[in-house]
Amino acid sequence: MTVLDEIIAGVVADLEARQAARSLESLQETVAGWRPRDPKPALRASGLSVIAEVKRASPSKGHLATIDDPASLAQAYQDGGAAAISVLTEARRFRGSLADLSAVRAAVSVPLLRKDFVVTEYQLWEGAAAGADLALLIVAALTPSQLADYLALGHRLGLTCLVEAHTPDEVRQARDAGAELLGINNRNLKTLDVDLANFEQMASLIDGDAIRVAESGILSLDDARRMREAGADAVLVGELLVRDGDPAATVAALRSLA
């Protein structure tokens, strides 16, 4: 069993408990009044756009930061010019929650990405009900038909889907499914190994007007500059920011990379 398999097994177990506590119909009633924000204009802006992440822990490094007030951290990200904010909601390995997402939603106006391992349509409704504007779809965690179905549901809900790939074949699957926002993960979710060359080698496979997002392993301004030079329109950054004493200034510095 790979690390990704283990994470998804935990996600499914936790999801069953939430589904028992709240029906799909209840989520749909809440979502009926929600109008998600479109992150694409900000992600296409000049310079390097930043998706700043609220992240307490990771499977590879364990505890990263004590974040008692995710809303305050998100406000700093917004002040620094983040195009969007990613909020981890997976509980077992990342120590996140939907409560974090709701708290951040109440504090900032920029688009929010619910960062989790989506394996059912229920989770898309759940994210929208908590105030998400974006959903993460990981190609390695889904069948081609699931990817297509979830992209279609996201479109109906007004959610922008960040489709994450790690291999050339996954990039092709994402493009074939019609992904407009495509992330290349420098981390292999099956082994947790990280290599920034992964984005460099595959960025050219993202043709047309799809937005290119470099994910994972960006631990310095030099790393971010390297991703920008390789063709990234945006970087998704967590560890660098949550361990930084001035996250607003660091987001601004990342944004300044032409």
| Catalytic positions, written as ranges | 53, 55, 115, 164, 185, 215-216
User: 245, 71 in Cβ contact below 8 A?
Assistant: no
Instruction: Report phi then psi at 255, rounded to 5.
Output: -65, -25
Burial bucket for residue 129 (CB in 10 Å: 0-12, 13-18, 19+): buried
H-run or E-run covering 113:
strand 112-115
Alpha carbons within 13 angstroms on the beta-carbon side of residue 58 total: 17
CA 183 – CA 82 distance, rounded (Å): 17
Smallest CA-to-CA distance from 42 within 51, 32, 34 is with 51
**Of 245, 243, 244, 197, whose CA–CA distance to 217 is shortest?**
197
Best CA proximity match to 52, nearest among 234, 258, 194, 257? 234
CA distance 164 to 174: 8
**Cβ-contact 62, 94 below 8 angstroms:** no
Q: Residue 214's CB: how many other CB atoms inside 10 A? A: 30
Contact indicator for 128, 159 with CB cutoff of 8 Å: yes
